[in-house]
């Protein structure tokens, strides 16, 4: 056992956040911590990390912990300084080993050697490697000029470089592109220590979680298995709780009716019934499921393109990020925007919103287009406003559909408490800020919506509500996101930013990924061969292919095509939310099948490259 927290209670002023929460994690175990925004997940992580002392309860720590916070601070002047500082523990470990050897303390030397064998004796290459994998800026970039997203990537790199026995990660996929998320997924799958993970990425949850711990009403409920197992087990548990609650309420009503009779009925032998009534009244009622309605529909009707690009070049001066883009966006479409960080996705939004003009070509917007944007920094709100004023625009009532609704009632629909109405917008959490922006989006009547990384800081409940709203939206929405599940579930098409400013349209994210994999495969043998010709000294030639190896090489393209088709089919099945409702754990089985197919694809590509080198 690496850590165990028992009966944790934390309150801020009069607000009780955690009331008797329990959690533990063992070596090699990945525990996913989930719950609605404000439920206390980050608070519990801070308690486990030792950054926050609980009002009540105990924390037993048997291993050092490293933590990625939502708002990290970075030491050092440059990225290199910050990342190298995170790895200082390794040199200290080697120094301690040498000291133990020299002093003859072989027991301590053996313990340190086990740790070094576990993490590796040479780690100097990891700083550049992890920075590259996570898409961090160049290592000599000053910390002072980094954006919030870039700081998060460096902070994640620091957490991974520390290689603690216990890794605490709070929303690690925020601001990562798809390739970085997939790399992080594989890293966590092979991590030898323990991991406690807070994330809204459902594919990541399904791939790495051994156990799900949900924070609800200040307490924790543990579920064995993956995210798919959790969904089924939670639904069954909730059904049992609701039946129990109905029985409790009915009994309470009967006892209350009896207790309200005349005092003559209250004889000594009936005192037990009164005692029972007191117990029923003191029981904590079942917490209602928190949810809200998000209906973005405006009644828009129209089949023609709402936005058209005609041979558009976009960028800044000589830096052309988009080249010769020609496409149309119609109503009732959800367009996913794919690509690595910095390739021009946000530039596309600025072109649509007319924040910048095309370098060449033209963009046409239909006359009835009404545009709304939620950008990555969640701007569009005045931080000095109160929540009440921000929602109502200074008015006491807002119009929802054809009805006038008081702002207090409107805010309650979006799960804001009455005591929050006077709160300044600047003090809202990331999830609350996004919920307020979604509320204002519903009031805007926009029929074209641009969403830049909308899933950052959202809990799973709000994420599902947003997905349903996008699917039923009668206008057009464009979504920049690295959330694979959201893209697979909602998008009718995707625009993929590829090399040299080319933007290619695909029917789905999986099709775009498949095309990228094939491009890498076709380029890989050539680039590998060229690199060896230029940089490697002459080596003895490997033996030419045998007859059986030539036959194997000839069959590999067809084999890869079949494997990739299987992967796409499995991915499409896993993208269907109904699969997680199956009682026989089919989603978990499909996830294992998908991993097996992906491993087979990687092995086949390795064989192809090895044989091609000798052909």
Q: What is the DSSP string of 473-520?
A: -SSEEEEE---HHHHHHH-SEEEEE-GGG-EEEESSHHHHHHHHHHHH
Residue 21 lies in a domain: yes
Q: How far apart are CA 516 and CA 521, in angstroms?
A: 9
pLDDT of residue 21: 94
Q: What is the pLDDT of residues 107-127, one digit of tens each?
A: 888 888 888 887 778 777 888
Three-state SS at 265:
helix
Give me the helices (H) in 28-147, please.
Answer: 41-49, 79-86, 88-103, 106-119, 126-133
Give the model's confidence band at 177: pLDDT under 50 very low, under 70 low, under 90 confident, else very high.
Answer: confident
On average, the pLDDT of the chain sits at: 84
CA distance linking residue 485 with residue 479, whole number of Å = 13
Place of tokens 């004023």: 389
Identify the residue with better confidence: 472 or 246.
Answer: 472
Q: Are 221 and 235 found together in one domain?
A: no
CATH of the domain at 528: 1.10.287.380
CB 210 within 8 A of CB 30: yes
**Same domain flag for 323 and 406:** yes
Q: pLDDT exceeding 90 applies to what percent of the chain?
A: 42
**Integer Cα distance of 407 and 396 in angstroms:** 6
CB distance 226 to 202 below 8 Å? no
Burial class (CB in 10 A: 0-12, 13-18, 19+), 194: buried
Residue 534 pLDDT greater than 50, yes or no: no
Structure letter (DSSP) for residue 578: G
- Is the domain of 334 the same as that of 444? yes
Q: What is the CATH number of the domain that holds 331?
A: 3.40.50.300
Question: Most confidently modeled of 121-130, 519-528, 596-605?
Answer: 121-130
User: Same domain, yes or no, for 161 and 18?
Assistant: yes
Alpha-carbon distance 388 to 421, whole Å? 5
Domain check: are 336 and 358 in the same one?
Answer: yes
252 confidence band (pLDDT: 50, 70, 90):
low
428, 461: one domain: yes
Scanning the structure block, which residue is given the tokens 């976009």? 314
Q: What is the dihedral of CA 531, 532, 533, 537, to 10 degrees?
A: 130
* φ, ψ dihedrals at 480, nearest 5°: -85, 120
**566 inside domain:** yes
In a domain, 289, yes or no: no
pLDDT of residue 179: 86
> For the segment 405-432, what is each residue's pLDDT rounded down to a tens digit?
999 999 988 888 888 899 999 888 888 8
85 versus 548: the higher-pLDDT residue is 85
Residues 314 and 210 in one domain: no
Interval 344-371 mean pLDDT: 93
- In angstroms, rounded to a whole number, what is the distance separating the alpha carbons of residues 494 and 478? 9
363 and 158 Cβ atoms separated by less than 8 Å: no
Note whether 460 and 573 are same-domain residues. no
What is the pLDDT, as a whole number, of residue 320? 92
Query: According to the model, what pLDDT value does residue 537 have?
Result: 45
* Matching residue, tokens 């594989």: 186
Any domain includes 584? yes
Split into its structural domains, the chain has a count of 4
- Tally of CA atoms within 13 A in the half-sphere of 543 that contains its CB: 5
Q: What is the pLDDT of residue 592?
A: 74
Q: What value does the mean pLDDT take over residues 243-248?
A: 73
Compute φ and ψ for 232, nearest 5 degrees: -70, -50
- Torsion angles phi and psi, residue 400, rounded to 5: -115, 110
Contacts of 279 (CB under 8 A, 6+ apart): none
The predicted structure's pLDDT at residue 14: 79
Token representation of residue 595: 């991993």
Residue 460: both structure tokens together: 């799973």
Q: Residue 175 domain-assigned?
A: yes
Domain of 246 in residue numbering reads as 231-282
Residues in the chain, total: 615
Distance CA 207, CA 583 (A): 19
Q: Is residue 32 part of a domain?
A: yes
CA distance 399 to 253: 39
pLDDT of residue 529: 45
Residues in Cβ contact with 252 at an 8 Å cutoff, skipping those fewer than 6 apart: 277, 280, 281
Residue at which a domain ends, from 209, 225, 241 = 225
Query: In the structure encoding, which two tokens stand for residue 519, read together?
Result: 């491009």
Quote the pTM value. 0.73
Residues 359 and 484 in one domain: yes
d(CA 414, CA 237): 26
| Residue range 304-316, pLDDT digits in tens | 789 999 999 999 9
Same domain for 426 and 530, yes or no, is: no
Q: What percent of the chain has pLDDT over 70?
A: 86
Given CA atoms 271, 272, 277, 283 in this order, what sign does their dihedral have?
A: positive
d(CA 128, CA 136): 10
Work out the pLDDT band at 385, boundaries 50, 70, 90. very high
Q: Is the pLDDT of residue 531 over 60?
A: no
Same domain, 361 and 472: yes
| Inside any domain, residue 530 | yes
Query: Tokens representing 13?
Result: 């002023």
For 371-383, what is the mean pLDDT? 89
What are the structure tokens assigned to 84, written together?
């190298």
Residue 543 has pLDDT above 60, yes or no: no
**Confidence (pLDDT) at 533:** 42
Q: What is the mean pLDDT of residues 388-398?
A: 92
Per the domain annotation, does 248 fall within a domain?
yes
Neighbours of 518 (CB within 10 A): 13
Q: Same domain, yes or no, for 210 and 235?
A: no
Q: pLDDT band at 492, cuts 50/70/90?
A: very high
pLDDT at 580 exceeding the cut of 70: no
What is the structure's pLDDT at 407?
92
Give the range among 147-156, 272-281, 308-317, 438-447 with minimum mean pLDDT.
Answer: 272-281
DSSP 3-state assignment of 552? Answer: helix
Task: Indicate the pLDDT class of residue 283, thresholds 50, 70 and 90.
Answer: low
d(CA 364, CA 351) in angstroms, rounded, equals 11
pLDDT digits (tens, 9 = 90+) for 22-57: 999 999 999 999 998 888 899 999 999 999 999 999
Give how far Cα 542 sits from Cα of 547, 606, 611, 615, Å: 15, 17, 10, 10
pLDDT at 266 over 60: no
Confidence of residue 203 (pLDDT cuts 50, 70, 90): very high
């Amino acid at each position: 056992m690496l850590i165990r927290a028992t009966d944790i209670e934390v309150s801020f002023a009069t607000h009780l956040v955690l009331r008797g929460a329990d959690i533990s994690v063992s070596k090699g175990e990945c525990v996913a911590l989930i719950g609605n925004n404000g439920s206390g997940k980050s608070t519990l992580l801070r308690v486990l990390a030792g950054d926050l002392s609980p009002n009540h309860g105990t924390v037993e720590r048997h291993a050092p912990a490293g933590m990625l916070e939502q708002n990290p601070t970075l030491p050092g002047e440059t990225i290199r300084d910050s990342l190298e500082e995170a790895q200082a523990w390794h040199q200290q470990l080697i120094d301690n080993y040498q000291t133990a050897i020299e002093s003859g303390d072989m027991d301590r030397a053996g313990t340190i050697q086990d740790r070094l064998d576990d993490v590796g004796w040479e780690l100097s290459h990891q700083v550049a490697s992890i920075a590259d994998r996570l898409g961090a800026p160049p290592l000599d970039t000053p910390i002072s000029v980094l954006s919030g997203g870039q700081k998060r990537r460096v902070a994640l790199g620091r957490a991974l470089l520390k290689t603690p026995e216990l890794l605490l990660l709070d929303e690690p996929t925020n601001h990562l592109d798809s390739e970085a998320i997939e790399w992080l997924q594989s890293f966590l799958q092979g991590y030898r220590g323990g991991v406690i993970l807070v994330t809204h990425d459902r594919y990541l949850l399904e791939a790495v979680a051994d156990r799900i711990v949900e924070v609800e009403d200040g307490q924790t409920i543990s579920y064995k298995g993956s995210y798919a197992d959790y969904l089924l087990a939670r639904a069954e548990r909730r059904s049992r709780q609701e039946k129990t609650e109905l029985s409790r309420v009915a009994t309470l009503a009967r006892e209350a009716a009896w207790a309200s009779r005349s005092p003559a009925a209250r004889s000594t032998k009936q005192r037990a019934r009164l005692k029972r009534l007191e117990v029923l009244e003191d029981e904590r009622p079942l917490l209602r499921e928190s949810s809200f309605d998000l209906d973005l529909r405006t009644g828009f009707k129209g089949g023609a393109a709402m936005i058209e690009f005609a041979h558009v070049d976009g960028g800044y001066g000589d830096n052309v990020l988009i080249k010769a883009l020609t496409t149309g966006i119609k109503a009732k479409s959800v367009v996913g925007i794919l690509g690595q960080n910095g390739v021009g996705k946000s530039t596309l939004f600025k072109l649509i919103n007319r924040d910048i003009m095309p370098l060449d070509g033209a963009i046409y917007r239909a006359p009835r287009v009404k545009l709304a944007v939620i950008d990555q920094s969640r701007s569009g709100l005045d931080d000095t406003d109160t929540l009440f004023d921000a929602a109502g625009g200074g008015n006491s009532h807002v119009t929802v559909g054809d009805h006038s609704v008081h702002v207090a009632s409107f805010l309650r629909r979006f799960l804001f408490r009455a005591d929050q109405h006077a709160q300044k917008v600047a003090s809202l959490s990331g999830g609350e800020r996004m919920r307020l922006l979604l509320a204002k989006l519903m009031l805007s009547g926009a029929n074209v919506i641009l969403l830049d990384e909308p899933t950052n800081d959202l809990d799973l409940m709000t994420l599902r509500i947003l997905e349903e709203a996008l699917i039923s939206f009668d206008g057009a929405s464009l979504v920049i996101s690295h959330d694979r599940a959201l893209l697979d579930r909602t998008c009718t098409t995707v625009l993929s930013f590829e090399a040299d400013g080319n933007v290619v349209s695909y029917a789905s994210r999986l099709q775009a990924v498949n095309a990228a994999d094939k491009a890498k495969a076709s380029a890989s043998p050539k680039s590998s061969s060229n690199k060896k010709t230029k940089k490697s000294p002459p080596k003895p030639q490997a033996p030419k292919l045998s007859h059986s190896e030539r036959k194997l090489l000839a069959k590999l393209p067809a084999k890869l095509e079949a494997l990739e088709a299987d992967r796409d089919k499995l991915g499409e099945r896993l993208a269907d939310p109904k699969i997680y409702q199956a009682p026989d754990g089919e989603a978990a089985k499909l996830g294992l099948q998908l991993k097996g197919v992906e491993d087979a694809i990687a092995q086949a590509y390795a064989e192809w490259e090895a044989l091609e080198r000798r052909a």
